């Protein structure tokens, strides 16, 4: 997945998730969106709150994300959160 981060004019972290079709059915696309939002909700946003990052985060799925297990997505989001917090601190 691609992750883009920018300083937020709001005083909290905000999120946008983009999942292109890449030739997949809407059911598969919605499943991937739900998985990505859940991973962000459980892993990325709480870590942003802990380190005091008020940023806008855009997460864009790549074509290979449709075939990846949830645990792999979760680990990638944890790595993004740790990277983000290391730059804020």
- 42-78: pLDDT as tens digits: 988 888 888 887 888 899 999 999 999 999 999 999 9
Architecture of the domain made up of 2-88: 2-Layer Sandwich (3.30)
* Rounded-to-integer distance, Cα 9 and Cα 26, Å: 33
Report which of 19, 14, 28, 13 is spatially closest to residue 1, judged by C-alpha positions: 19
CA 77 to chain centre: 6
pLDDT digits (tens, 9 = 90+) for 3-35: 998 888 888 778 899 999 999 999 999 999 999
- Token reading at 41: 């909700």
Alpha helices (H) along the chain: 26-39, 45-51, 70-88
Q: Model confidence at 89, in pLDDT bands (50, 70, 90)?
A: low
Distance CA 8, CA 28 (A): 31
> Considering the entire predicted model, what is its pTM?
0.84
């Amino acid at each position: 997945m691609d992750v883009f981060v920018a300083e937020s004019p709001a005083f909290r972290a905000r999120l946008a998730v983009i999942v292109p079709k890449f030739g997949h059915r809407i059911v598969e696309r919605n499943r991937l969106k739900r998985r990505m939002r859940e991973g962000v909700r459980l892993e990325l946003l709480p870590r942003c709150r802990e380190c005091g990052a008020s940023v806008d985060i855009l997460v864009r799925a790549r074509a290979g994300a449709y075939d990846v297990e949830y645990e792999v997505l979760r680990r990638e989001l944890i790595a993004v959160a740790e990277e983000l917090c290391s730059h804020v601190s």
